[in-house]
Amino acid sequence: MSKDYTTLWKEIGLNLGKHDGLLSVLSDAYKNIYLSQKNRPEGMKYFDFVISEVHGLRIEELYEAKKEKRKVIGTFCVYVPEELVLAVDGVFVGLCAGAEVGFEEAEKYVPRNTCALIKAFMGFKLSGLCPYVELTDLIVGETTCDGKKKAYEIFDEITRKMYVMEIPNMKNDSDRKLWLEEVRKFKDKIEEISGKEITLNLLKKATEIVNQKRLALQRLSKLRAYDPSPISGLDALLVNQIAFYDDPVRFTMKVNELCDELEERVRKGNGIAPKGTPRILISGSPFAIPNWKLHAIVENSGAVVVGEESCVGSRNFRELTDENFNSLEEGLEKIAMRYMGIDCACFTPNKERIDNVKSLFKELKADGVIHCALQFCTPYMMEAFKIEKKIDFPYMRIETDYSMEDFGQLKTRVEAFIETLR
């Protein structure tokens, strides 16, 4: 980190002793997993910098934003419309956590057999380790899975900042109406806490900013379709993770700069691994930062990850919001419609997801799919079986969590799978 942020962390209320420990573990993991990669694009330097400052400069920026009376809104799901937060000049940050931290604390509130993502976001807060949670003015949850729904009730008792949006589980007309109503209510809530009114122009501008971010991520995704791939799956995953933390305009610019460089690499045939290296599409539960485990295993086993059918991945950027609206109400409808297209496993039925896995597999010229569900994540664990039955390409499913206990066992299984693709 470029400077000493101790005073800021103290002011926010972090547990300084534990926080120092966390940063040193993270920095070691980052060096081992990321900085040890060969032939990385120059453009990754910006993203390395963001990670090195993820609890530093970015936190200072949020702190400054709050002093300017801008509101910081934390979320856990790609279903929460970012456009509405940006329309009131708010800061939108993802709060999911991808490390086994504070689980003992979390298990005082939720059962042991709760998915790692839920235990991590609770554990980070309960251990005083998440500056983002501390800086939020509002934390937006959603009724996607039962685990989250119930955890948010507890999280509200702890933080007193929760606001929950009801996500329907089906996509019929009545569900669409319910969701549109939820989007309208969310707009009211955002206006209330920010003290600002969302106008047609503000909503248009915000929609454009979010769409530009999605377009940049789409561009990155398309570049991964080349063989040899110009970027590692680990690096692309990092960019997709940072999409939830960074300032959207700056982030878009940096992703586009990276893509310019990757296009040049493609022209020169400069890949991250030799042409013909087995190509893996990873599908399933989201990979919250710093969950790099599976990508590291795959890429250290002689394959390259070319895409993520995940919310930290294609589900976050696949659809744009239609910017062609002429009234605020029409804008809200377009936004609601765009988010309704997300194919989270919480929906029933969810045929779109199978179609999306198939088309992504083809687009990215993948050789095999690894379906990864977090342990105890019933929706994705269940869909893993369903997808296996409906596809005809090489497929393996795994269930794992954030611990390193199964690292060796997973590596053996992944290596065997990759061997079958050669």
- Residues of this chain that interact with ligand SF4 (CB under 6 A) are 77-79, 115, 117-118, 144-145, 147-148, 285-286, 311, 315, 342, 344, 346, 374, 377, 379-380
Mind spelling out the 3-state secondary structure of the chain? Answer: CCCCCHHHHHHHCCCHHHHHHHHHHHHHHHHHHHHCCCCCCCCHHHHHHHHHCCCCHHHHHHHHHHHCCCCEEEECCCCCCHHHHHHCCCEEEECCCCCCCCHHHHCCCCCCCCCHHHHHHHHHHHCCCCHHHHHCCEEEEECCCHHHHHHHHHHHHHHCCEEEECCCCCCCHHHHHHHHHHHHHHHHHHHHHHCCCCCHHHHHHHHHHHHHHHHHHHHHHHHCCCCCCCCCHHHHHHHHHHCCCCCHHHHHHHHHHHHHHHHHHHHHCCCCCCCCCCEEEEEECCCCCCCCHHHHHHHCCCCEEEEEECCCCHHHHCCCCCCCCCCHHHHHHHHHHHHHCCCCCCCCCCHHHHHHHHHHHHHCCCCEEEEEEECCCHHHHHHHHHHHHHCCCCEEEEEECCCCCCHHHHHHHHHHHHHHHC
Smallest gap from Cβ 18 to ligand SF4, in A, equals: 24
Kindly tell me which of 86 and 344 has the beta carbon lying closer to ligand SF4.
344
104-120 burial: b if 16+ Cβ within 10 Å, else e: ebbbebbeeebbbbbbb
* CB 373, CB 399: distance < 8 Å: yes
Smallest gap from Cβ 336 to ligand SF4, in A, equals: 15
Report the chain's terminal Cα–Cα distance, integer Å.
42
Smallest gap from Cβ 226 to ligand SF4, in A, equals: 27
Kindly tell me which of 144 and 229 has the beta carbon lying closer to ligand SF4.
144
Kindly tell me which of 277 and 291 has the beta carbon lying closer to ligand SF4.
291
Smallest gap from Cβ 120 to ligand SF4, in A, equals: 10
Smallest gap from Cβ 238 to ligand SF4, in A, equals: 18
Kindly tell me which of 23 and 133 has the beta carbon lying closer to ligand SF4.
133
Token readout for 183 is: 């989007």
Smallest gap from Cβ 158 to ligand SF4, in A, equals: 17
Smallest gap from Cβ 337 to ligand SF4, in A, equals: 16
Kindly tell me which of 144 and 232 has the beta carbon lying closer to ligand SF4.
144
Kindly tell me which of 148 and 371 has the beta carbon lying closer to ligand SF4.
148
Report which of 89, 87, 56, 55 is spatially closest to residue 71, judged by C-alpha positions. 89
Smallest gap from Cβ 81 to ligand SF4, in A, equals: 12
Smallest gap from Cβ 338 to ligand SF4, in A, equals: 13
146-159 vs 116-126: helix crossing angle, rounded to 10 = 10
Kindly tell me which of 303 and 398 has the beta carbon lying closer to ligand SF4.
398
Kindly tell me which of 331 and 379 has the beta carbon lying closer to ligand SF4.
379
Smallest gap from Cβ 79 to ligand SF4, in A, equals: 5
Smallest gap from Cβ 345 to ligand SF4, in A, equals: 6
Kindly tell me which of 88 and 344 has the beta carbon lying closer to ligand SF4.
344
CA 164-64-80 angle, 5° bins: 20
Kindly tell me which of 117 and 294 has the beta carbon lying closer to ligand SF4.
117
Euclidean distance between CA atoms 307 and 254, whole angstroms: 20
Kindly tell me which of 118 and 202 has the beta carbon lying closer to ligand SF4.
118
